[in-house]
Each structure stands twice: as C-alpha cells, then as structure tokens.
Homo-oligomer: A and B are copies of this chain.
Amino acid sequence: MAFDRLPARRAGIDTYQQPVAYLRADSAVCLAEGFEAQAQIELIVRGRHVLAILHHVRSDWLRRDEIALSEAAWALLGAAEGEDVQVRHPPQLASLAYLRGKVHGTRFDDTALHALMADVSQGRVSDIHLASFVTVCAGGGLDLAETVALTRAMVDVGERIDWGVAPVMDKHCIGGLPGNRTTLLVVPIVAACGAVMPKTSSRAITSAAGTADAMETLAPIGLDVAAMRRVVEREGGCIVGGSAAHISPADDMLIHVERPLNLDSEGLLVASILSKKVGAGAQRVLIDLPVGPQTKVRTASAAEALSRSLVAVGAEFGLQVCAVLSDGFQPVGRGIGPALEAFDVMAVLERRPDAPTDLRDRALVLAGLLLEMAGKAAPGAGLVLARSVLDDGRALAKFIAICEAQGGMRVPPRAAHTQVLCAPVAGRATAIDTRLAARAAKLAGAPRDPSAGAVMHVRVGERIVAGQPLFTLHAGSVGALQYALGFLRAQPPVVHLAVEP
C-alpha cells in the first residue's frame, strides 16, 4: 500500500517561507494517517525532507491521489511535476525539549542551542515553536554567554567562508533607512585603497530597495562563493546578493516570526548580525546605526547599549566590531527604489555637481573608519584618504572594475511614467515621513519593478514655496502610478510643511 506516496503538482500558491501541502480530505493518506487540516506533515522527495502545514482541499481542483505544493514547499523539495512525494507524520524533535527546559527556567548551553539551530535551519521547527523561542529570548532572556552560544550555533549550522587573507572588512546597517545605499560607495573606496571587502547584501524584504536590488541594476549579483572569490582576488571587493542564505540559515528562519512578534531581543539581534558576519569570513566590521523616530533603534542610549553588546560578543569570535550612530531622521540621497538609488550612487562616484551630498558624506565617514580599521589610514586620517580616492576617480574606476568582474556593468532602467507632487502651500519642511515615502515607492512598483520608486526633491529644514515640487513618483505603468497616487491622497503628507508667518 503506497498510499503515502503521491505525485506532486505545483499549486501556484505563494505562502512566503511557510511550506504548505494540499491534500484532499478524503485522500487515502489523510484517512489512513489521520492527518487533520493545519497539521504538520513531513514531505520527502529523494532524501530531501521538508516540514509543511497541511491544508485540506474539499473541491475538485485536486484529485484524491495527488498532492499539491505551495511555492515554498515546491522550491525546498526541488520536486518535479508528477514526481512522487512521500508524506508522513513529522518525527518528534528532540531539540524542542531544550526549548521547554528554557521556558521552565534552565539556561541554554552550547548543546541546546546547537540542536535547536540545527533543526531551525533545516525548516523542521514550526512557526509557533519559533515564536516560543523568540519569546524566551526577548528582553533580558539571553545573557552574554547565551548570546555567544547562540551566535556560535548559528554559525555552525551554516556555511563559513575563509578568504585566505587578512584583514577581511565588512559593514552592516541596522534597521535601514530609505536611500541609504552607502555600501555601493564604501566598497569601491575601501577596495581601491587595497583592503579586502567581499560584501554580501540582501534584497528588500519590506523596504522599497535592498542593497542587492540597487546593485543588480548596475551589474549581475547572483554569484556563488567560487565566483565571488574570483572577483575579490582580482578587485579586492564585491557586492553580491543571495548567498547569505547559506551562511546563517537559522537566522533567516527566525526573522520570519521576529518581525511580526515585534519583541526586542538584544541577544537575538546581536547573534543574527554577528553570525552572518562570522559566517561570511569577516574579521573587522563597521556597523552603521541610524537613530531616528522611525528606525529600528530609536534612542541614542539604546544604540549605545547595543553597540557594547556587539563589541563584546564579536570579540569572542576574534571579530573587531566598531559601531557608529548616524542621523535617521529623513531618507538618504534622493532616490527610493533600486534604479533611482543606483543613479544617486553613480552621481556621487562620477562627482556630478547635482550628486546628493548627504549620501556622499555618510559614505565617506564610513569608508574613512573602515580604512582606519584596516590599517590603510592612520587614526583620524581615514576620511581624508576616502575623499581623495573618491575625488580623483579611483573609486569610480574600482566600482566599474567590480561591476565588470561580476559579469558586466549595465545602465539602470528608467521608468516610463512619472508624476511630480508639489507643495499645496508655502512653508518650511519640518519632517519627512520615511515610512510613507517608502510605501509610496513600493506602491509605484519598487522593488519588483527596478525602475519604479520615488525621488525626493526637498530636505528637512528647507523653505518651500507653494507649487514647488516635493517628490516625483516613477512607475512602469499608468496603473501602478495611479495606485500610488490614490494611496497618497488618503494619507497624511509625506513632507510636513509648517506654514510660516
């Protein structure tokens, strides 16, 4: 009786990271195994195991003798259309006993966290167990030793890259700020000075553009570790995407529940950031901590406590960490969206007179610090060196060389449709709602449509006359433009204007 093996069908349903399997409630396997709707089941194809949530189909789009898979289940199993999927009750997870122990007051040790992160990284732990784990880690739930153990466990269950050189430089920005694409400037400046900086960046998850999305409009980013290594050996730096998934896979699973739970866990945040840096082979890391009313860290004192923890845990892994607080009150540069941010970056590299000075200044500060950390500049001399490398065109030449090494430089796309939004009255710009600006950019199509987004024309503090352009929406279709405009009409203003007497 092979009722537990059914040919696979792609359901065409996207359930984000949660694998879902669809079976008829009256299928032999559901009757035989007693699988209820919303139960966890294990799917097996050619030795690959995936834990999925079961949804019962009660209509005719699925036959009794087949199984349909959501996009996540399909991708994780690597199934082919019609291939047999074995379905069974999931094994009992021994690691969950450690979670229960922690809930009942036992501290986590290396063994416990290693077992838990191994199961988490394999997708064997359900969302509600992940939520339970995040809850016990929240607040002061993890002490320094547990944070170190968690970081180590996250590193151990992922891949770890050894670049065979020292020092390997890296940077990270906590929380994100629209337009803050300093990485695309920092990497070529640092690499042009002879330091090694193999940068892996992520795509946007909730924002209008990630560093990977912006870079992709200028060069290919889908490089594996071997290809990255060739670029870094030749140019000293790279800016690629994606392979982070193999570096700290447990962290990728946890983020999925951390975001909606919205519990502050310093230990989890530190382990998340540092496990990725250790796994990526970094040795000296600069962390940019924007502090503002809508950023992840909202007060200077919270940012300073987090910095101390990052430095202390990093030291356990031989990682030199330096954290700097930065202004998080308004978008950086002008563009919000992959290509629009890439244009800002190119304007700075090409030293064009209209290049956004705030983006340039932030990048120079970070690059200067990294050059000092790398021993390429004396303490206090990094900023001057960084500026000279940018001003004399070496940074631009290095960036072009990196793009060519990654597969060839290209010109970012331009959106077919734009709409300028103007000030209804005169006044002084007192605030820019960075979240609303990012949302408008997303409604216009970013980051899926790399040409879409918004371009800001004003900065906080400026005097604005009535009818002056505040920002321009860019979209690939009239429909997308209309959605973004319709949304904005129902919202408070993106740019707050105080009418002056």
Contacts and interface: CB of A to CB of B under 8 A. Distances in A.
Interface of A: 1, 3, 11-18, 20, 22, 25, 28, 31-34, 36-38, 40, 55-59, 61, 70-71, 96, 100, 103-105, 126-132, 134-136, 138-140, 206, 256-257, 260-263, 439, 442-443, 445, 479-480, 482-484, 486-487
A140 B126 CA distance: 24
A14 B127 contact: no
Contact of A13 (B56, B135, B263, B445): B56
A130 B261 CA distance: 10
A105 B439 CA distance: 35
A256 B227 CA distance: 47
Closest 8 pairs between A and B when the two form their complex, measured CB to CB = A12-B59, A16-B38, A14-B56, A128-B131, A131-B131, A16-B37, A104-B139, A32-B483
B443 A40 contact: no
Contacts of A103: 135, 138-139, 263
B57 A443 contact: no
Given A32-B486, A58-B71, A103-B138, 11 more contacts: A12-B58, A13-B22, A13-B59, A28-B483, A32-B443, A38-B256, A103-B139, A127-B128, A128-B128, A128-B261, A135-B136
A127 to B, nearest CB: 6
Contact of A260 (B128, B257, B486): B128
A439 B31 CA distance: 10
A55 B439 contact: no
A100 B262 contact: yes
B128 A3 contact: no
A139 B136 CA distance: 12
Contacts of A483: 1, 3, 28, 31-32
A337 to B, nearest CB: 14
Nearest to A1: B486
Contacts of A33: 487
A18 B70 CA distance: 17
A265 to B, nearest CB: 9
Contact of A105 (B40, B96, B139): B139
Contacts of A486: 1, 3, 32
A71 B105 CA distance: 40
12 contacts: A13-B57, A14-B58, A17-B38, A18-B38, A32-B483, A34-B439, A55-B70, A103-B263, A126-B260, A129-B260, A132-B135, A132-B261
Contacts of A134: 132
Given A31-B483, A126-B260, A443-B31, A55 B15 contact: yes
